[in-house]
Structures are given as C-alpha cells and as structure tokens.
Amino acid sequence: MKDIFFDLSVRSVRLNLMRSILASIGIVIGVVAISSMGMLGTNMQLQVKDQLSSGADTIVITADAVRAGPPGSGTTSSATGITKTQLSKIKLAAGTTSTIVPIYSTNTEFTYGNVPGRSSVYGIDPDDITKFLTIENGTNLGGINDALVGSTFATSFNLKIGNRIKIGKDSDESQPIVRIVGILAARGMSSDNVNTDNAIIVSDDWYTNQYGGKDTYSQVNVIVKNIDTITDVETAIDTKLNTDKKTPAVRISDASSRISSITSSLSSITTFILAIGGISLLVAATSIFNVMMMSVNERIQEIGILLSIGTEKGEVRRMFLYEAIILGILGAGVGGVGSLIIGYSVVSYMIGTTEFFFLPESILYIPIGMAIGLVVCILSGLYPAWRASNMDPIDALRSE
C-alpha cells in the first residue's frame, strides 16, 4: 500500500531541491572523510604487516643497554654487542633445527665516483647470506673485497655489477674499495632488523678487518624452522642468557612484538584521523537540523490541516523523519561512491600501492561511513519531527 506521507516527504525535498542538495553535501563530505581515512589507516597497517612478515620466523637478539650513571639517573651507554660466549649459548638454546646468523653492522660514509653518500654496512658470513636474503642479480660474495647492495641503493646510484664503491670518509687516503658482485631483491621494512634495501653487504672478514670487533656482533638472528616453536626458542634463549632478570644481558624480540607495536601506533593514528573526519559529520548534522527546522516552519499550515483532519501525531513525525532519511540516503549514497574513488586515490598516493585496497577490512569502511551518515541524518531529524507532531492544530492553522 502506498504511503502518502512518504510522497509528501519526497515532494518537500523536490520543491526545495537546492537546499536539500546543499544539506546533503555535508553528509557526503563526512562519509568521504571517515571512509577514506579509515581505508588509508587500514591499508597502512596491512602494508606494514605484509612487509614485516618477511622475517616472521626470526628472533632478533641484541645486547641490552649498559647503565652508565648511578641507579635512577636514567643515563645509559650503548651496549657492547653479542659476545662469542653468548653466541655459543644462543646456539645451544636454539637447537640444531634453527639457523643462527651473527651480524655486524654500522653506518658510514661512502663514495661512488664523485658522489658521496651515507649507508648502513652489514658484515655477514657469505654462507649465511642466502639463508635469509635473495640475490636478484649477480652472485654471492666470493673474494674478500666483494660486496652486495640493496635494490633501492642500486637504483638510486644507477649501480651495475662490477662497479666499485669507496667505503669511509672521502678524506681518508686509505679508503677501502669494494666491487659489486650482486644486487639483492627488495625486502621492504623487515622485522629482522636487517634493512638491506638501501645498504651495502660485505663479508664478516672484510668488516672485522676494517672496523675491528671480531669477537662482538651487533646482533644475532635466529631463524626457526617451525614458526610455531618461536616462543619456546625465545624462552630457552632468555633463560640461558638473561640469568639476572633485573639487569638482562640481551634484548630478545620477534616479528609479533614488532608488528603489534607498530600496528598499535598506526591504529591510534587512524582513530585520531577518524575523529577529525567525524567533526565534519557534526557540522553536517547541524546543517540537516537547520533544513528540517526550516521545513517545519514553512509547512506549519500544512501540519495544522493534517492534524485537524485526524492525522495521528506518529504519522506527522514519520513524514518528517522520511524527509531526513531521504537526505541521508542521498548524502550517504553519493558519499559511498565518492569514498571509493577518493579513497583509492588517497591510498595510492600516500602508500604507493593499492594491493590491499579491495580487501574486506579496507572496503568495510565505506558501508560504515554510509551508515554513520544515515544515522546522523535521522538523529538530526528527530527533534524537528517531534516539534511538528506536537503542534496545536488551531495555532498552526492561524499562522501566516
């Protein structure tokens, strides 16, 4: 059966079309803001998780900071590193099924041709390199002066296999030279604390010849064979090395703790951004409220006639709520389409990839934004609808 009150609501919207469109624009902006920002935050989290998952089977062990000042002073000095003795204990605790990769690292200047730069340098046993890194072009380290470079590093300086790089300060006359024999595949942000995309990788022997510290590693990575055992291996290493729980000798972390920490931070940022987007919906709610109040004031005599001929208060309320719902559907519908287009553009520009854009956890923000926009419209129409239904028919008919 046709609802005459719905037809009256549609008629009111059509008669005041421009005003209705302007009111709905606020809802459109609010829906787009909430949906786009929500999708951006979700895509950032998914991107980070995907990049960090490359080292999900790896436990990273670094020396804990050594206190330099008196207790309570809050001053610390850098830890010396992982010793050979600690490495032996790590191997014992991790068991024969795990792969142990001791790593030296530093950050230093370099020169390619006449172009100076600064980069991380990792010293790794050549036999261990292919256990967790992929050589995309070229070969593994062979000679003492061979080096591998990350994909970003190679692209930035237009490096090719066979090119030579001087490592150290340009003013140093004994600046060592390494020859590039391979370029590593891109890894992105890895959870194993070895960020090779913009780094130089040399052999452990070359590294200790240049920088010393042969008996002290910057970190030790433990790659477990079965990821389900990572917690057990972590506990075993902690028991072996951190005998004094008040002053632990090493810091042990894995991908789950890193992912949890980063995604928690991103989640907080996303929530903050969504709150900002929600402000636009509050502004839109005010606009819808004003439009509905104007509609009530302009139709006072119409309301008086309806009430005087026996129309129930609930039916009058329904008529004005229909009008609010129509405005909400228009705004939410256009906002949903706009969110898809603008959200895709924002994610592509800010993150550089839309690989995760159409996943359910990302797209879900569009119907959420639309639903919030519709609810805001309905709430904004409640008081005007109540006011209209509670008018005195006599007073309404007398109004000019």
DSSP 309: T
Mean pLDDT of 118-124: 95
Whole-angstrom CA distances from 193 to 120, 261, 264 are 12, 14, 19
Q: Say what percent of the chain tops pLDDT 90.
A: 56
The mean pLDDT value for 27-48 works out to 90
How is residue 214 annotated by DSSP?
A: T
CA angle 231, 232, 233 (to 5 degrees): 90
Is the pLDDT at 292 greater than 70, yes or no? yes
- Which sign does the torsion angle of CA 183, 185, 188, 190 carry? negative
Q: Tell me how far apart the alpha carbons of residues 369 and 375 are, in angstroms, rounded to a whole number.
A: 10
Lowest-confidence segment of 23-37, 77-91, 371-385 by average pLDDT = 77-91
Q: What does the pLDDT read at residue 141?
A: 96
If you average pLDDT over residues 280-291, what whole number do you get? 88
What per-residue confidence (pLDDT) applies to 270?
Answer: 82
Among 113, 127, 125, smallest CA distance to 170 is for 113
**Which parts of the chain are beta strand (E)?**
58-63, 66-67, 76-77, 82-83, 99-112, 115-124, 135-138, 146-149, 164-167, 177-184, 199-203, 216-217, 219-223, 250-254
- Residue 43 token pair: 């895509």
Predicted local distance difference test score (pLDDT) of residue 53: 63
pLDDT of residue 72: 40
Q: Which amino acid, 212?
A: G
Q: What is the pTM of this model?
A: 0.65
Q: Answer for the pair 368, 38: CB distance below 8 angstroms, yes or no.
A: yes
Query: What b/e sequence results for 146-180 when a residue is b if at least 16 CB atoms lie within 10 Å of its CB, and e otherwise?
Result: bbbbbbbbbebbebeeebebbbbeeeeeeeeebeb
The pLDDT of residue 173: 67
Residue 193, classified by CB atoms within 10 Å of its CB into exposed (0-12), middle (13-18) or buried (19+), is: middle
Residues 286-292 have a mean pLDDT of 90
Confidence of residue 38 (pLDDT cuts 50, 70, 90): very high
Please report the pLDDT score of residue 174 as a whole number: 75
Q: Tell me how far apart the alpha carbons of residues 400 and 134 are, in angstroms, rounded to a whole number.
A: 82
Residue 236 pLDDT greater than 50, yes or no = yes
In the prediction, which pLDDT does 71 show?
38
Question: Comparing 16-20, 136-140, 269-273, 348-352, which segment has the lowest mean pLDDT?
Answer: 269-273
pLDDT of res. 240:
92
Please report the pLDDT score of residue 69 as a whole number: 40
Pick from 54, 51, 167, 59: nearest CA to 108: 167
**Contact status, residue 165 vs residue 215, Cβ threshold 8 Å:** no
Rg (CA), the chain: 33
Q: What pLDDT, in 10s, does the model give residues 324-363?
A: 999 999 999 999 999 999 999 999 998 888 999 999 999 9
Determine how many CB atoms are found less than 10 A away from the CB of residue 188. 15
DSSP helix/strand/coil, 355: coil
Question: What 8-state DSSP symbol labels residue 65?
Answer: P
Q: Which range has the worst mean pLDDT, 78-87, 88-97, 326-335?
A: 78-87
pLDDT tens track for 47-56: 877 766 666 6
Q: Which residue in this structure is represented by tokens 């090395």?
A: 241
Mean model confidence pLDDT for the chain: 87
The b-or-e profile of 213-235 (16+ CB within 10 A means b, else e) is eeebbbbbbbbbeeeebbeebbe
Helix (H, G, I), strand (E, B) or coil at 232: helix
Report domain extents, the chain: 4-51+261-398, 58-253
Residue 68 confidence (pLDDT): 38
Mean pLDDT, residues 108-134 taken together? 93
Length of the chain: 400
Using an 8 Å Cβ cutoff, are 236 and 93 in contact? yes
- 161-198 pLDDT, tens digit per residue, is 999 999 987 656 678 999 999 999 998 777 788 899 99
Give pLDDT tens digits for 133-148: 999 999 999 999 999 9
Distance CA 379, CA 234 (A): 53
pLDDT (0 to 100) of residue 227: 76
